[in-house]
Structure 1
Amino acid sequence: MATNILVAKIWSFCDTLRDDGLGYGDYLEQLTYLLFLKMADENKEQYSIPKGCDWQFLKSTNQIVETYEEVLKTLSKSGGMLNKIFAGALNKIHDSVKLKKLIKLIDEEDWTSKEFDVKGEIYESLLQKNAENSGAGQYFTPRSVITTMVECIQPKPKETISDPSCGTGGFFLGALNYLNKKKLSKSDADFLKFKTFHGWEIEKSTARLCLMNLFLHGVGDLKETPEIEVTDSLKRCEKGEVEDFEKVNIILANPPFGVSSSDIPTIDLKQSKKDGYFLRKDFWVTTSNKQLAFLQHIVTMLKDDGRAAVVLPDNVLFEGGAGETIRKKLLEETSLHTILRLPTGIFYAQGVKANVLFFDKGNATKEIWYYDYRTNIRHTPKRNPLQLEHLSDFIECFSAGNKKKRKETWSPENEIGRWRKYTYKELIARDKTNLDIFWLRDDSLIDLDNLPEPEILLDEIIENIESALVSFKSIKENLE
């Protein structure tokens, strides 16, 4: 059965369960448990499931609800991957008829007989469905953006890859797909399976989905699992700084977009004791802004020759105070060589204006290349989603294999070119080291005879108002 048909078939059953008060996230979590048991049943020689917890026993019992609850309880105490996936697992489907129907729907498919990436794709599609419908994934990173970032970073075998706010593991899957296309030795493949990925996720249920997502794509096994920690990665440093043995080669991330946090990292030991802030000796400045805190954290996580691609909102490029200090330090201590300006309308939350910052640690910034894929570009998550082909020109301009070959497409003679560079001298001379640069003319403000459809104009107005509110909140916090 085609992936989209199977996803639609399984997902449609969620509407039936919603009448019983089961949310989209709860439904996906129950699917995670049942799908795992079905796959284990199809591959018994690889998976050792405790007696009385296997798929065949579950689907044949008459006391389905009671049995399912006992299965979850037993698996949560079984150690290894089982413990991580089923820790704290609870049954949310209390109608025996509906639970049996869901089990039957899953049982009709032979999941492990499908090609490796197909079953993973099905699960990924379910995760995206959850993001679209629940609102929980309002900043769910489009797969096209993830693939673009990975294509530009170009991970190599035996490099470690981290995401300090990994969510359901989208960036890990993007890197995994890239590396699986290479010819890997047995040693490389083992490293990829067990040692490549390191992630942190504050939500236990989301971390569970990340583990299951990786597991479905061949990462880890029942005994050894990838390092996905359920914790706030900003606060995980016991000594107030990231130690050398924890540092990684690559970071791919889309940190939380919330402006402020009640848990504030500080560089001042006295303040950490007096005000209850948590100490980060390796940060440049104290800030309550989550994106600015995560940006500092990401720099500290990288090895000296490490590289990063990070999705960040516009305010990181222009905000004063701590923002200005961080931008200056970022230019001094990393080579911030590329900024991709993303279009609005690609996230499920309105008003989000974001960029991808690409930087390498160890050398200072000499110049920044900008690619403006925002001006005069319109996308929406459902009607006109951003696809990989839309970013293919950026990937070509990026010239990952040899950045010395880069050539501007903008010039005084070609003012519509989207690829342009600015030197460090030009950037540092800007007020507050403002890196929020754009040069293309907005056609909708010029050609009155060729305005977009009213619905598109309304979407843009909403986006601009909500983006302005985020900026005002940030300004207020700086004043306070």
Structure 2
Amino acid sequence: MSNHAELRRLVDKLWSYCDVLRDAGVAAIEYVEQLSFLLFLKMADEREKNPSNPKKVFPPGPDVSWDRLANLSGDALEVEYQRVLRELGKEPTNLGVIFRKAQNRIQEPALLRKLIRDLIGTETWSVGGDLNGDAYEALLQRSASDVKSGAGQYFTPRPLIHAMVEVMRPVPADLIIDPACGTGGFLLSAVEYIERHFGTGMTPDQRENLSSGQLVRGVELVVSTARLATMNLFLHGVGRENGEPVIDVRDALSGVPSTRATLVLANPPFGKKSSITVTDDEGRAEREDVSYSRPDFWVTTTNKQLNFLQHIASLMAVGGRAAVVVPDNVLFEGGVGETIRRRLLKEYDVHTLLRLPTGIFCAGGVKANVLFFDRKRARPEKPWTEKLWVYDFRVGEHFTMKQNPLREEHLADFIASFAAEDRAQREESERFTSFGYEELLARDKVNLDITWLKDPALESADDGVPPEIIAQEIVEDLRAALAEFAAVADALAARAVERNDAERDSV
């Protein structure tokens, strides 16, 4: 059986249980999470029983046995399984990240036993190499398309990730950080790129750093998503069970970075506001907006997207480079948005902008772009941005998640136009053109939401675009417009608060 056929068999087998558990109240993304626990336990058991090279996976202390779980049933199985999850979640390692706050969502012991014995127990997981990792990645992608679960917000389209990594060209000397890593797609793609291009030429130390996770670092706020990212990397050979966590579970915006990245790859959350949930004296839960007042930030704002852009700029080492997915409002929002854009253009080399079409993200209503910029040494006398090259991949492109999904070949022209090997050799084309620094500053509010192409769909009713795609684009445009209106309303509300505060201070 070919690798592709075997991969399909494995994915279909794993996914077949999703429908069974969905009927029992377990969402698709929760199903993948539950699989992660059992997969790890089975892999650890296989490694410890390997006759040629047995390896102790679990640290002294937790009494963990796959055979014991496989031989239990009923309430005894449920109790023992929850005990194992609780004990492993206490470890300060990658193991602890995978099992941190782990809960058994499979409330029917018979279903749990079926997963253990008939699904996980009948496969060999520790010798599958990339096959098992690819199967897990495919499960993540399928679960991300489950709209009701909201899992799509943690999953960036893989063709887009691969294109971003291809033009950024990570090297073994890089420290690659994703401050909002979701399920780990950017980090995994960067590792695969390094292995593909430098595998045979890496030193033993570089190879050890790559496989142990020292070259890649992720930050993720949501515990369950961090475990999926850790497991995704682990199944692809990145990270040690008892090694330092590759994924740091915390709020990336909460403090000044202690480590500087030479390469940042990220798709930060698209939510407009940073907020926390607090409980008042009467037990009511309320959301409070959070402003991050950091000495390394140019402005203080509750806008999560603008805060992530500032954080990434601060996170970069001198000489570092970044590729960041940003929604449209980051390019045109006035007030603090304009201030950030002015500072970024002056102090960084903002060299490329990729305008993305709608219909490529699992989360609907998203109009997004990829912003590419490099950090340079301080140079107050002269701005670092000389030209911003804009590639318009939005106009005239029509995608949907199922009927016409984004594929690798769709971004091939962008990769070629980017000219990663020597950006000085770039050439203008219909979709790729440049704008000088002074030209950008002269635009109203330094608006970088630049377009010059006419959409053929607006010029001709007979352009061959299926009506379902046109309808989907209308829905996406309406959602995006509502999001933009909400961003304006938030900005006006923030200004009103600042004005009231200033009036109170003057009294």
Kept after mapping to 1: 8 A contact 2:352/2:389 = yes
Give the aligned residue type for 2:397. Answer: I
> In the alignment, is residue 141 of structure 1 matched against residue 141 of structure 2?
no
TM-score by length of 1: 0.91
Aligned match of 2:203 in 185, 192, 216?
185
The aligned counterpart of 2:371 is 357
Change (3 A) 1:125 1:159: same
Kept after mapping to 2: 8 A contact 1:165/1:253 = yes
Output one character per residue of 1:6-63: Cα deviation in whole Å (capped at 9) or x when no partner.
2122112122122222222322221001000111122212343367522222212344
Return the offset for 1:283: 0.8
The aligned counterpart of 1:158 is 173
Aligned match of 1:315 in 294, 312, 329?
329
Once the two structures are overlaid, the 10-residue window that deviates more, 10-19 or 330-339, is: 10-19
The aligned counterpart of 2:144 is 131
> In the alignment, is residue 216 of structure 1 matched against residue 235 of structure 2?
yes
Kept after mapping to 2: 8 A contact 1:197/1:226 = no
The aligned counterpart of 2:338 is 324
Alignment of 1:79-94 (within 5 A): 79-94=92-107
Change (3 A) 1:74 1:242: closer
The aligned counterpart of 2:487 is 474
The aligned counterpart of 2:84 is 71
Return the offset for 1:75: 2.2
SS in structure 1 at match of 2:462:
helix
SS in structure 1 at match of 2:350:
strand
Aligned match of 1:285 in 294, 299, 302?
299
Change (3 A) 1:79 1:146: same
> In the alignment, is residue 101 of structure 1 matched against residue 114 of structure 2?
yes
Give the aligned residue type for 2:339. Answer: T
Kept after mapping to 1: 8 A contact 2:180/2:221 = yes
Change (3 A) 1:377 1:278: closer
User: For 1:449 and 1:78, how far apart are their aligned partners in 2?
Assistant: 62
Give the aligned residue type for 1:186. Answer: P
The aligned counterpart of 1:57 is 68
Return the offset for 1:355: 0.5
User: For 2:92 and 2:371, how far apart are their aligned partners in 1?
Assistant: 39
Runs of 4+ in 1 over 4 A off after TM superposition: none
Kept after mapping to 1: 8 A contact 2:342/2:446 = yes
TM-score by length of 2: 0.86
Kept after mapping to 1: 8 A contact 2:97/2:226 = no
Kept after mapping to 2: 8 A contact 1:336/1:358 = yes
Output one character per residue of 1:315-341: Cα deviation in whole Å (capped at 9) or x when no partner.
111111111111111100110100111
Kept after mapping to 1: 8 A contact 2:176/2:264 = yes
SS in structure 1 at match of 2:275:
coil
User: For 1:212 and 1:347, how far apart are their aligned partners in 2?
Assistant: 23
Give the aligned residue type for 2:188. Answer: L
Q: Percent identity?
A: 49
User: For 1:464 and 1:278, how far apart are their aligned partners in 2?
Assistant: 31
The aligned counterpart of 1:4 is 8
The aligned counterpart of 2:424 is 404
The aligned counterpart of 1:267 is none
The aligned counterpart of 1:272 is none
The aligned counterpart of 2:279 is none
Output one character per residue of 1:124-176: Cα deviation in whole Å (capped at 9) or x when no partner.
11111221113222462100111111111111113111111111111100101
User: For 1:147 and 1:287, how far apart are their aligned partners in 2?
Assistant: 32
Return the offset for 1:460: 1.3
Aligned match of 1:201 in 215, 220, 229?
220
Kept after mapping to 2: 8 A contact 1:139/1:348 = no
User: For 1:470 and 1:301, how far apart are their aligned partners in 2?
Assistant: 28
Give the aligned residue type for 1:163. Answer: D
Return the offset for 1:277: 4.2
Output one character per residue of 1:238-275: Cα deviation in whole Å (capped at 9) or x when no partner.
xxx334xx111110000110112236xxxxxxxxxxx9
The aligned counterpart of 1:373 is 393
Give the aligned residue type for 2:248. Answer: E
> In the alignment, is residue 382 of structure 1 matched against residue 402 of structure 2?
yes
Aligned match of 1:347 in 349, 358, 361?
361
Return the offset for 1:78: 4.7
Give the aligned residue type for 1:70. Answer: R
> In the alignment, is residue 20 of structure 1 matched against residue 20 of structure 2?
no
The aligned counterpart of 1:31 is 35
> In the alignment, is residue 168 of structure 1 matched against residue 183 of structure 2?
yes
* Consecutive unaligned residues in structure 1, runs of 5 or more: 264-274, 410-416
Give the aligned residue type for 2:7. Answer: T
SS in structure 1 at match of 2:145:
helix
Give the aligned residue type for 1:349. Answer: A
The aligned counterpart of 2:498 is none
User: For 1:179 and 1:340, how far apart are their aligned partners in 2?
Assistant: 23
Aligned match of 1:333 in 339, 347, 351?
347
The aligned counterpart of 1:117 is 130
> In the alignment, is residue 233 of structure 1 matched against residue 274 of structure 2?
no
Return the offset for 1:207: 0.9
Once the two structures are overlaid, the 10-residue window that deviates more, 70-79 or 325-334, is: 70-79
Output one character per residue of 1:171-220: Cα deviation in whole Å (capped at 9) or x when no partner.
10010110111132111111212311222111111111111111111122
User: For 2:242 and 2:213, how far apart are their aligned partners in 1?
Assistant: 10
Kept after mapping to 2: 8 A contact 1:137/1:348 = yes
Kept after mapping to 1: 8 A contact 2:328/2:369 = yes
SS in structure 2 at match of 1:2:
helix
Output one character per residue of 1:352-397: Cα deviation in whole Å (capped at 9) or x when no partner.
1110001001161000111111111011112111111110111111
Kept after mapping to 1: 8 A contact 2:273/2:304 = yes
Change (3 A) 1:222 1:139: closer
The aligned counterpart of 1:259 is 272
Aligned length: 456
Give the aligned residue type for 1:2. Answer: E
> In the alignment, is residue 42 of structure 1 matched against residue 41 of structure 2?
no
User: For 1:191 and 1:227, how far apart are their aligned partners in 2?
Assistant: 11
